[in-house]
Amino acid sequence: MSSGRNTVWFVKGLREYTRGGYESASRHFNPADVEVDVAGRFFLVTGANSGIGKATAKEIARRGGTVHLVCRNKERAEVAKEEIVTETGNQNIFLHTVDISNPKEIWKFAEKFRNEHKLNVLINNAGCMVNNRELTEDGLEKNFATNTLGTYIMTTALLPLLEKAADARVITVSSGGMLVQKLNVSDLQSGNGPFDGTMVYAQNKRQQVVLTEQWAKAHRNIHFSVMHPGWADTPAVRSSMPDFYKRMKNSLRTDAQGADTVLWLAVSPEATKLPSGLFFQDRQPVPTHLPLAYTHSPPEDEEKLMQMLEEFSQKFKSVSP
């Protein structure tokens, strides 16, 4: 990003990520877009016990939707569920304990879920930013296992259910950080060179954008979207990025402001009037590449990513109980 024009664009973009950016954008929102009754529709939200996931689940519950909360920590999830039921009066809130960094667990959960439930909308919100290179029990780098492979398996395992549903949607919560990364399929698990958790996370978020674009091409009767929630004051930001949080805490968005576009993409009839596969910020499609940033990747790299993730996922499916 060497050009002055590019730097100005990027700095302007960063301001848009703050609470002030949300307040400015929201002046142009149509409140009626999300004033919808979604009773009789079924939603699954991963990472739903705090932050953007919980805020999204609560707003869907308020509108009458049946919400499946998929969380790693059972105790915290039960507290979140109780809060959602109490605040919304909606009893149709169901809890599933799944670790999204564990591919065998996801397969097992998804296969059972497909047999027992309906699904209209999948919201891939669970994510992590681990700042030191950690391996899961399966020998997978933890950020990749959670953000990329976990998202891939959860989505592909539930596609048969979504294919049967009316107005099916898949929304993935990404990050504007992906704008600084070009897709790199040569080192998916960040084993080469020094490990920078922030950049690994940004690479995973770029991968999620590519996944969304590829799925949109392959599954025409499901509406796929990926979005940047802006910079929100969530427990994940506080724990993973303490220095950033300290510097920016007075400018961060609330959970609800971060969740607004997720909710809009999940419930609004307006969202599906736009093409499938786009990247959104504050209810608007935005570019997936900065001007002159050289982050475009050749189609063969994007196909290679899909192929490699499919191979990974099948490996863990075959040992699934």
Q: State the Cα–Cα distance between residues 203 and 182, nearest whole angstrom.
A: 7
Cα 48 from Cα 262, distance rounded (Å): 13
- 244 CB-contact burial (10 Å; exposed 0-12 / middle 13-18 / buried 19+): middle
d(CA 60, CA 67) in angstroms, rounded, equals: 7
Q: Which of 24, 23, 25, 63 is nearest to 43 (CA)?
A: 63
Please identify which of the residues 152, 201, 245, 294 carries the catalytic annotation. 201
CA distances from 174 to 12, 52, 306 (A): 19, 12, 17
Beta bridge partner(s), residue 93: 67
Tokens of 213: 């674009």
- Per the annotation, the verdict on 245 as an active-site residue is no
State which H helix or E strand residue 208 sits in: helix 197-218
Residue whose token pair is 């922030």? 198
What is the DSSP secondary structure assignment for residue 28, as one 8-state letter?
Answer: T
Q: How far apart are CA 56 and CA 45, in angstroms?
A: 8
As a whole number of angstroms, the distance between CA 171 and CA 278 comes to 10
| CA atoms in the 13 A half-sphere facing the CB of 43 | 33
Report which DSSP code applies to 214.
Answer: H
User: For residues 96 and 69, what is the distance between their CA atoms, to the nearest angstrom?
Assistant: 6
> Using CA of residue 48, residue 244, residue 25, residue 292, what is the dihedral sign?
negative
What is the set of active-site residues?
201
